[in-house]
A = this chain, B = another copy of it.
Amino acid sequence: MKVLNEFMSKLKGKALVAQGGGPTAVINQSLVGVILEARKFTEIDRVYGACFGVSGIRDEKFIDLTQSTTHNLENVANTPGSALGSTRDKPDIEYCARMFSVMLKHNIRYFYYIGGNDSAETCRIINEQAKAINYELRVMHIPKTIDNDLVGADHCPGYGSAAKFVAQAFAGVNLDNLALPGVHIGVVMGRHAGFLTAASILAKKFADDGPHLVYLPEQIFNPDKFVNDVQVIYDQYGRCVAAVSEGIIGANNKPITVDLINEKEKDAHGNVQLSGNCAIGDLLADLIRTRTKIKRVRADTFGYLQRSFLGCVSETDRREAREVGERAVQYSVWDDIDGSVAIERVGDYAVHYKLLPLEAVAAKTKIMPQAYMHGDNAVSEDFRNYARPLVGELEHIERIMAIKV
């Protein structure tokens, strides 16, 4: 019997799910998508969660999610942060060998790792190692990043909600700056890709709304040009709001603040830690204070609020984050293949999901395409059209309509 054969040929064992990298507002949607979907398949006898990413596999720290109530999981899905705990570990060969011995012991046959390009690289290494020792293991990378920098996808779960935070933050900063005019510099996360910084413009409504200037890590940042840009806007509007990526680079192609940052503090991937301090914002504010006659100059670094703030979720993001988790389980069980789930835009606005090879996504970074930039200090209408459906409807902003006396 064909049906029975097909059924019997499926890989049977436990599923293991883990979360890697920085948390987002919707990464738990993907987690719960995996758990609830995996519990539907007879091929999967139990669903384990690894505590603190790959480190929890290495250290054999699992929780059994098979009997967690759907009610509990649905509430977790709506909670920001990584409910299983996360890690920035990048497994080497020895690390992987330890992980496999643990997976073998528990008969884990389906591994779902939710994270960014570093986590995809971890998936790729684990997959390679599993093949090398002939261990049958489905390895699925499930995308997650507020940076929106995964190769091969239209966009990534986590971005829409972080972009909504940034748009709402700049909407507020702009209104504050309208009331008490001056210069405001807002520093946004994004080491190499400017998608999140570009989202600063999404709540602009009136012609003179800020941010008036947007500086992305994809373009060379020239401090002299910056001072001049701010002065020009200030002369025109009596105020200026600028959005600046934490990853802006100078003419030497190095992050402008690299000299200012304690080089000792790098994570296991060799990334310099850019967030969690205010060097860039203070540096740029001082530049304006010393080089212009503008009195009121302020800088805010949005920091970790961008990825964890309670109560700022894009509905589009919420739905898609859930579905990539479900899709990963579907691909791995029905199609018996490995890969990275990616969102494809197929309408305005509609999406499909596709599966990419792990090596197509792993450790690669997508940056903003040229078409999304406008000159060296603004973003284009194309970007606005691209990003608006990802963020969804924002609260209505209005100005007083009244005649001058």
Contacts and interface: CB of A to CB of B under 8 A. Distances in A.
A357 B276 CA distance: 45
A126 to B, nearest CB: 19
Given A62-B404, A63-B403, A176 B300 contact: no
Contacts of A106: 405
A151 interface: no
Contacts of A305: 169, 172-173, 300, 302, 305
Contacts of A184: 304
Contact of A175 (B80, B88, B275, B399): B80
For the complex, would chain A's binding face be called helix, strand, loop or mixed by DSSP majority?
Answer: loop
Given A69-B401, A76-B399, A176 B311 contact: no
A22 B49 CA distance: 47
B398 A75 contact: yes
A68 B88 CA distance: 55
A282 interface: yes
Given A82-B179, A405-B62, A395 B301 contact: no
Contacts of A282: 277-278
Interface in A143-191: 167-169, 171-173, 175-176, 178-180, 184
A285 B304 CA distance: 15
A204 to B, nearest CB: 12
Given A298-B303, A308-B173, A85 B179 contact: yes
